[in-house]
Amino acid sequence: MEHGATRRQLPACAGWAVAASVLLIVYREVAGTLGGELLYLLVVWAATAMAWWWLREGAGRLAGVLIAAGLTMSSLGDLLWMILKWLGNEPDVSVADVPYLAGYVALGLGLTVLARVARQPGRQRIDGWIDAAVVFVAALLLMWHLSIAETVADASVSLGTRVVWAMYPALDAALIALVFRLVGGGRRDGSAVALAAGSMCWLVSDLGFLVRPDASGLLDVGWMLGAAFLASAVRDIGRRRSATAAVAPGDGIGRLAVSLAALLVPGTLELFNHLGDRPESPLALYTAHFALVVLVFARTVRLLQAEGRARDMVRSQARHSAALAAHSSDAVVVVDRSGRLRSDATRLAGLLGSAHDVDGGLAELMTSTGLRLEEARVVFERALAAGGSVVSAELPRRVDGQELWLGVRLVDLTDDPDVRGVVIHATDITERKRAEQTLAHQAFHDGLTGLANRALFADRVEQALRHNARRGDTAAVVFIDLDGFKEVNDALGHQAGDVLLQQVAGRLQATVRTGDTLARLGGDEFAILVEQIIGPDEARAAGDRVLAALGGPVRIGNQVVSVSGSVGVSISDGDATRDSLVRDADIAMYAAKSAGRGRVVVFDPSMRAAVVERRELERELQGALAGGQLRLVYQPVVELDGSTVVGFEALLRWTSPSLGPVPPDRFVPVAEDLDLIGEIGAWVLREACTAAARWRRLPGGRDLTMAVNVSAVQLASPDLVGQIAEALAGSGLPASALVLEVTETALVRDPDAAAERLAALRALGVRLALDDFGTGYSSLSYLRQFTVDVLKIDRSFIATIQGAHLPPIVRGLIDLGRTLDLEIVAEGVELEVQRDQLRAARCDLAQGYLFDAPLEAGAAERLVLHPAGASLADTARRLPAPRVGATPGRAGSVRPS
């Protein structure tokens, strides 16, 4: 923060230098005239007025009030002096000196208060005042040598006049000491710099007036600049009314050096007097030297005391660390390069559950606790070859027929004189590995019905086509969409809809042959892969069996409902691909729906009218961005502990003049195919960052974050990092306020390239979120390869929260996120029970229709301004409600939901 403040002060310093030069040139032309005197009064009173004006921004800050009061008293003294001069009366001491000296006192009090506001510990405050006293004594001795001694000895003027004249350099010395106290105490912001500059200007002019009173023109410029600098200090204090002042750690060595250097001042002045044959002041020199020695001695004693306290703290921290290690769930041991133990391995033995004597060595301990010695040796040799880099591994072990896991991190610190060995950090990761296995199963199976999900189904279709290509067989895909499911959801609610889906899944399972695959693709859509068929009649028969299974009524609690299905069938040929086979079955299903539902339709190439629709979609999309048809809506992200809005997720929407609203899952893939996604993604980043930066400046919006989705295509683009940097720079949004969401699928396309791109994004300072976690193709091992900050739990998992107990898979996800020190966001929260269960499980954040629907920019801004005045009912009227029984469609800047 200090370096940033210094960079901001450089142009300000240049501006002050230019202003001073202009003021000096102008004032020298009119110095000594009535115009010059009026210009002088105009400048000092303008500075005073601006100080009080700027103080309005920092009302209640005592330091600013005192400095402004000091300026006022000084300017009042100038006015009184000018009036006396115009009346022809220019006494050596006048009534003008009263406000002049009072101004110094007020300014000194303001500096004292400002130093107190720096919030230093008590010991540091005392040290700071000792250092300030040293500077004051040295500066006062210097002032004595330069002017005070001569003024006091001047018998040509009265004693009162000599006292008043001597007070000016003495008070200047006090101001310099107070400025040193402020800056030396660690305050390095603009107000401290301005105060130092203003005090120096007044000091130089005061000394100049006593030495060369005839140089009034140049001296007046110094007083005017001093007033301007002090007014600027009031402005900087006012700007920090609601924030803690910028306080950097005090430079102890530098302050001690100043204290020791002050001891040279008396001797240097004595040498200067001797060489210049000037009159000597042995009493003043001795008194100052004695005072400096006492102060420096006190400072040294306190420094030694502080060192003693620091040593005691280090020893206390060492004991504290040892106590924590003794009760830690992890174990740390040190071995030499040959594998012999160099530290106590009792904690490791306890972690592994060994009752054997650990004095036997690390190899014996590993063998006795079920670890495979060969695998451990390979990991150890990798650590030796890594040259000081950390090597991580997961070692399986089998104890009493159970498979357990040990996570280890090794680093070779043999060359470290404090370690001299290989450090092994071991952790029992059995629970995490079991959670991974559960999640791995969940990644390819539907959480509600237990059927294969879309990812597994696509993989099975791919395998079937390859198998059939070798043998010349034919496969078919049966695509089922339930008719009337929405009505059941609307009438009976989500829980009833889920029960219906489970019963439908059971009925469909009974129609599937051994070896075929039944999957739930999402919502109320199912699909069956019939791997080997003889002809179209067999494929149609599979569809007829589905209709027959769905024909009977379904009991849900005390209610009896009826559903049917629209079934589309596609049959593979030599050119069929995984995507085309599923797509053709989907097209046939829509044909069945259009024909009246509750029927089976086999795909025919004439149904490819969807291709025409696709072409029209492509044509309209090419002009959508330039035509202003795209817009963003913002779904709030709330803090579960208090339901406070902490950020938004930007979601892309398109309303075509001819096609009407087009869902993102339709136009985003088209934009990727047309290479428009880069341009659209850059626009979304600029819009989202600009909106977030604007909202963060609103009351209550200071810490808001903005999440933007990044597709696999964008992640692979070399332009992505530059687009993000440009959006941040153009909007002024801090990089830490931008969260980029990527899916597992986007990462596993090219893991190495994805890791490189994510590293570049992290270098910008943005945060990364893993979205739709557990629903893609990837292994959980990617959490170790890709460094992310946020783990987003997919809405399909949240939908399983229906009762008083949190499903184990959701709890496992939350525990896994906390183990990896990730922020956790739950998506698709629609029920109060889901919110309550997540809050009890210490989930951090959530989003969903329970809190708010995606909002237009104006509504989101009103939500930031008046968080208590927005409600779900309000926002639900602004945007269409989600389809009951299905998750609301969502897409960000780059990928479909």
Look up the CATH number of the domain holding residue 853. 3.20.20.450
325 falls within a domain: no
Q: Residue 472, SS3?
A: coil
- Domain with 730 in it: 632-878
Phi and psi at residue 413, to the nearest 5°: -115, 35
- Say what the alpha-carbon torsion angle 721, 723, 724, 728 is, to the nearest 10 degrees: 140
Q: State which of 12-16, 217-221, 371-375 shows the largest mean pLDDT.
A: 371-375
Looking at the structure, tell me whether residues 217 and 336 fall in a common domain: no
Residue, of 260 and 767, whose pLDDT is higher: 767
**Span 114-132, average pLDDT:** 71
What residue has token string 């879309």? 454
**Helices 2-30 & 216-239 angle (0-180, nearest 10):** 150
Q: What's the pLDDT tens digit per position in 209-229?
A: 766 666 566 677 777 887 788
CA 344, CA 329: separation in Å to the nearest integer?
16
Q: Are residues 373 and 363 in contact, defined by beta-carbon separation less than 8 angstroms?
A: yes
103 falls within a domain: yes
Looking at the structure, tell me whether residues 755 and 862 fall in a common domain: yes
pLDDT score at 594: 67
Q: Residue 645, SS3?
A: strand
Which segments within 213-330 are labelled E, that is strand? none
**Span 733-748, average pLDDT:** 86
Number of domains observed in the structure of the chain: 4
pLDDT score at 637: 94
Q: β-pairing, 644-656 with 600-602?
A: unpaired
- Say what the alpha-carbon torsion angle 34, 35, 41, 42 is, to the nearest 10 degrees: 160
Domain boundary among 404, 428, 452: 428
CA separation, residue 3 to residues 57, 188, 190, 247, 832 (Å)? 25, 10, 12, 12, 48
CA 599, CA 565: separation in Å to the nearest integer?
7
Q: State which of 274-283, 311-320, 688-697 shows the largest mean pLDDT.
A: 688-697
Residue, of 39 and 686, whose pLDDT is higher: 686
CA 145, CA 169: separation in Å to the nearest integer?
11
pLDDT score at 729: 93
The mean predicted confidence, pLDDT, of the chain is 78
pLDDT score at 659: 87
pLDDT score at 159: 81
The half-sphere exposure of 425 on its side-chain side, counting CA atoms within 13 A, is: 11
Q: Are residues 864 and 647 in contact, defined by beta-carbon separation less than 8 angstroms?
A: no
Domain boundary among 194, 225, 251: 251
Looking at the structure, tell me whether residues 588 and 660 fall in a common domain: no
CA 426, CA 329: separation in Å to the nearest integer?
9
CA 129, CA 131: separation in Å to the nearest integer?
5
Q: β-pairing, 705-709 with 644-656?
A: parallel
616 falls within a domain: no
Looking at the structure, tell me whether residues 44 and 181 fall in a common domain: yes
**Helices 808-819 & 430-443 angle (0-180, nearest 10):** 120
Share above pLDDT 90 across residues of the chain, in percent, rounded to a whole number = 17
Domain boundary among 232, 251, 270: 251
Confidence of residue 247 (pLDDT cuts 50, 70, 90): very low
Q: What's the pLDDT tens digit per position in 553-571?
A: 888 888 888 888 999 999 9
Q: Quick check: 830 pLDDT over 70? A: yes
CA 287, CA 129: separation in Å to the nearest integer?
20
**Span 114-130, average pLDDT:** 70
Q: Which helix (H) or strand (E) holds 84?
A: helix 62-86
Looking at the structure, tell me whether residues 402 and 465 fall in a common domain: no
706 falls within a domain: yes
Confidence of residue 32 (pLDDT cuts 50, 70, 90): low
Mean pLDDT is lowest, of 321-330, 520-529, 854-863, 866-875, for 866-875
For residue 773, how far is the Cα from the chain centroid?
A: 21
**Span 814-832, average pLDDT:** 90
pLDDT score at 655: 93
Looking at the structure, tell me whether residues 445 and 399 fall in a common domain: no
Q: Token pair of 353, please?
A: 């559950």
Q: Quick check: 142 pLDDT over 80? A: no
Give the burial class of 431: count Cβ atoms within 10 A of its Cβ; 0-12 exposed, 13-18 middle, 19 or more buried. Answer: middle
265 falls within a domain: no
Mean pLDDT is lowest, of 357-361, 536-540, 776-780, for 776-780
pLDDT score at 688: 95
Looking at the structure, tell me whether residues 458 and 413 fall in a common domain: no
Which residues pair with residue 397 across a beta bridge? 371, 404
Looking at the structure, tell me whether residues 56 and 183 fall in a common domain: yes
pLDDT score at 891: 42
Long-range own/partner contacts, residues 399-402 (CB < 8 A, 24 or more apart): 399/353, 399/369, 399/370
CA separation, residue 686 to residues 277, 696, 703 (Å)? 73, 15, 19
CATH number, domain containing residue 192: 1.20.1070
pLDDT score at 253: 67
CA 359, CA 353: separation in Å to the nearest integer?
15
Residue, of 484 and 495, whose pLDDT is higher: 495
Q: Quick check: 726 pLDDT over 50? A: yes
288 falls within a domain: no
886 falls within a domain: no
List all residues 6 or more positions away from 681 whose beta carbon is below 8 Å from its beta carbon.
710, 711, 714, 720, 723, 893, 894
CA 371, CA 136: separation in Å to the nearest integer?
71
Confidence of residue 473 (pLDDT cuts 50, 70, 90): confident
Looking at the structure, tell me whether residues 393 and 487 fall in a common domain: no
Mean pLDDT is lowest, of 109-118, 289-298, 350-359, for 350-359
Looking at the structure, tell me whether residues 850 and 720 fall in a common domain: yes
Residue, of 348 and 550, whose pLDDT is higher: 550
676 falls within a domain: yes
Confidence of residue 186 (pLDDT cuts 50, 70, 90): low
**Helices 2-30 & 190-211 angle (0-180, nearest 10):** 30
Phi and psi at residue 703, to the nearest 5°: -105, 15
Q: Are residues 820 and 440 in contact, defined by beta-carbon separation less than 8 angstroms?
A: no
Q: What's the pLDDT tens digit per position in 374-402?
A: 778 888 888 888 888 888 888 887 777 77
Q: What's the pLDDT tens digit per position in 273-284?
A: 666 666 666 776
CA 226, CA 249: separation in Å to the nearest integer?
27
Looking at the structure, tell me whether residues 834 and 871 fall in a common domain: yes
For residue 270, how far is the Cα from the chain centroid?
A: 59
Which residues pair with residue 533 across a beta bridge? 474
Looking at the structure, tell me whether residues 586 and 663 fall in a common domain: no
Q: Token pair of 320, please?
A: 């504290």
Q: What's the pLDDT tens digit per position in 757-784?
A: 888 888 999 999 988 776 654 456 666 6
Confidence of residue 22 (pLDDT cuts 50, 70, 90): low
Among candidates 625, 728, 720, which has minimal Cα distance to 682?
720
